[in-house]
Chain A
Amino acid sequence: MIFLAMRYLLERKRQTLLTLLGVFFGTTAFVVVSGFFAGMQGYYVQQLVNNGAQVHIEARTDYLTEHGLDRDFFGPSPLHIFWAPAPAGVKGFINVQNPQSWYKRLDADPRVEAYSPTLSAAALFNLGNISVAANLLGCDPNKQAKVTTISDYMMAGKFTDISVGGNRIILGDELMKQLGAGMQQVVMVSVGTHPPVPFRVVGRFYTGSRGLDRQAFGSLPDVQKVNLTPNYINEIGVRLKDYTEADELARSWAKLAPERIESWGDQNQNIKSIFAIQNALRFSMIITVLIVAGFGIYNILNMTVNQKRQDIAILRALGYDTFDIIMLFFSQGLLVGICGTILGLICGYIVCRYLQTISFLQTSPSNPQGHLHIALTLKIYLEAAALALLSTSIASILPARSAGKLTPIEIIRQGG
């Protein structure tokens, strides 16, 4: 029957071509649009996952609510307690409790790639008569470089320079400009009401993200000293072997210690919901295109079934059964669907490869050419093929079934 189906298709080339184009455009659109969105989302996820830690273990301080201290003062089930005035403040610890046990736990966990204990402090940077408030982060540069990509963004100096000798810092590009500082200059750094301490600028980094570029890095002991909190850390950044396990690990670790534990996903909830909306839009748009393509096939096949009533009658009389007749028309739709899908996948791939080469985004250190990020994952192509073939199959089986129901006798009696 395939043979006859092909003859039918070739006999009405224009219609065949038009229906094929419908499927073709649908599939191409799916591949390109999905590639674009998935690429963009993947890029952002990579940025989030690589630029910062994947799991954050932070000292926990909770804001006090009106009855937040009731239990501490009046036992396990206090009733009718009125404060005048209500307590205000934070409860908890400003440093990670018992970091040694964390180190042991992280060292033993095979899913952990690396971790880095840090102490961050709100500091005031002074140079001449300019003073700028910014975050000062103390870390072990060797460990920090394994957890985040900060060392890739060094514009001057090396990230490890802060651990050589005392009181050296690396400034973000933005902070450096605000201070008007140059390399090797000495900047006065003070935390809270503690006396200022001189630091030598030994490096500059530029990530392209304002928030990050307004930070400063120092070695962990130096920052602990400025903060007058020797041995304190307030965060441990963890990098995992598989970043998708972050949520699960964060949940299970949270049960073990009082610290607040958040995955990269927890810290970027808004991005996840944006992704979900993007995906919903993408799917509804593409499904619309494919439904339109499906309707094209459905219409034309229905028309063909009507035009070919006499052929159906004679085939029946010659011994072709219902299944043969269904296949005769179903295979026409399916052939168009398969060709359209294959061409669409190929064309989609070519368009994706082309889009990858054009400079579209603003350039940044992580993306020096400003190229679009287009995903070329197999999953997209399989999804596109499955959707296109599903819609063409549904569109073809309906007219094919109605053709299978025609009996030869009615048609022959009417003389066609």
Chain B
Amino acid sequence: MGIIAKNINKSFGTPPVHVLSDISLDIKDGEFISLTGRSGAGKSTLLYVLSSLDDPTSGSVEIADRDITQMSSDELYRFRNQKMGFVFQFHYLIAELTAIQNILLPAMKFNEEVIRRPRAEMLLEQFGLKEKINRYPRQLSGGEQQRLAIARSLVMEPKYLFADEPTGSLDTTNAESVMNILQDCSRKQGMTVIMVTHDPDFSKLADRQIRLADGRIVP
């Protein structure tokens, strides 16, 4: 169980530029992992490979005993929808939809918006967005937008949450509240959280810190 990466290599272009070199990782279910390292070290690249958004050049990634590099695309999309949550540095909310519609977007894929609605409302309340349920993203502050994006990633109750610099575009207060939410997910709900961050203080909150340098794990 958990996420097991074996000998992952990733290179771009010709001649190949090696971005990740022979990375092996074993992440237990419920672990809270932080990925740190200098800019260009390959943190984002590793996160995308682990989360199926990108393919490794070689090596394999197993999530819950299943090799995601071998899954059919139908299975993969269903797996992403049901089991994975994503938070990025930018919120990627859909401007034409209200807060609640944005949150329920993952649920619409398999027509679950009705059964997921109570959870969506609960998340909004928990994140202090209860009054803004029918607002459009442009009517929200940066911090509110990011919390909304996290709520969207949690609405399907995923087992795995992938976050790429979720606090990157936020001020200290907002960043702290986002960190609290992620810690909660891991501690209280047993989610497996993998978070890329530049902030050493936030990094320390994790169960385990993984440092990357030049595409390799620093022991």
Contacts and interface: CB of A to CB of B under 8 A. Distances in A.
Interface string B83-115: 010101110101111000000011011000000
B94 A321 contact: no
A409 B52 CA distance: 10
Contacts of B108: 3
Interface residues of A, number: 24
Interface stretch (B63-71, B74-82, B202-210): B74-82
A164 interface: no
A3 B164 CA distance: 29
A8 B92 contact: no
A38 to B, nearest CB: 44
Q: How large is the interface on B (under 10, 10 to 19, 20 to 34, 35 or more residues)?
A: 20 to 34
B109 A318 contact: yes
Nearest to A10: B96
B48 A319 contact: no
Which among A310, A311, A318 has the highest number of chain B CB atoms within 10 Å? A318
Determine chain A's interface SS by DSSP, over half rule.
helix
Contacts of B86: 314, 317-318
Contact of A8 (B53, B82, B96, B105): B96
Contact of A409 (B54, B77, B96): B54
A415 B108 CA distance: 25
Contacts of A318: 80-81, 86, 105-106, 109, 152
Contacts of A412: 48, 53, 88, 92, 164
Contacts of A321: 73-74, 77
Contact of B92 (A7, A11, A311): A311
Contacts of A317: 53, 80, 86, 92
A37 to B, nearest CB: 44
Nearest to A7: B96
Contacts of A7: 96-97
A263 B98 CA distance: 70
B11 interface: no
Nearest to A415: B90
Given A320-B77, A409-B48, A314 B94 contact: yes
A322 interface: yes
Contact of A319 (B80, B92, B95): B80
Contacts of B53: 317, 408-409, 412
A320 B109 CA distance: 7
Interface string B29-70: 000000000000000100010000110000000000000000
A4 interface: yes
Which among A7, A317, A412 has the highest number of chain B CB atoms within 10 Å? A317
A8 B54 CA distance: 28
B97 A4 contact: yes
Interface in A211-233: none
A95 B89 CA distance: 99
Nearest to A11: B96
B90 A315 contact: no
Contacts of A320: 77, 81, 109
Nearest to A324: B109
Interface of B: 44, 48, 53-54, 73-74, 77-82, 84, 86, 88-90, 92, 94-97, 105-106, 108-109, 152, 164
29 contacts: A3-B108, A4-B94, A4-B97, A11-B96, A310-B90, A314-B86, A314-B94, A317-B86, A317-B92, A318-B86, A318-B152, A319-B77, A319-B78, A319-B79, A319-B80, A319-B84, A320-B109, A321-B73, A322-B73, A324-B109, A409-B48, A409-B54, A412-B48, A412-B53, A412-B88, A412-B92, A412-B164, A415-B89, A416-B92
9 shortest interchain CB distances as A-B pairs: A319-B81, A314-B92, A7-B96, A319-B80, A321-B77, A318-B106, A317-B86, A409-B54, A11-B96
Interface of A: 3-4, 7-8, 10-11, 310-311, 313-315, 317-322, 324, 408-409, 412-413, 415-416
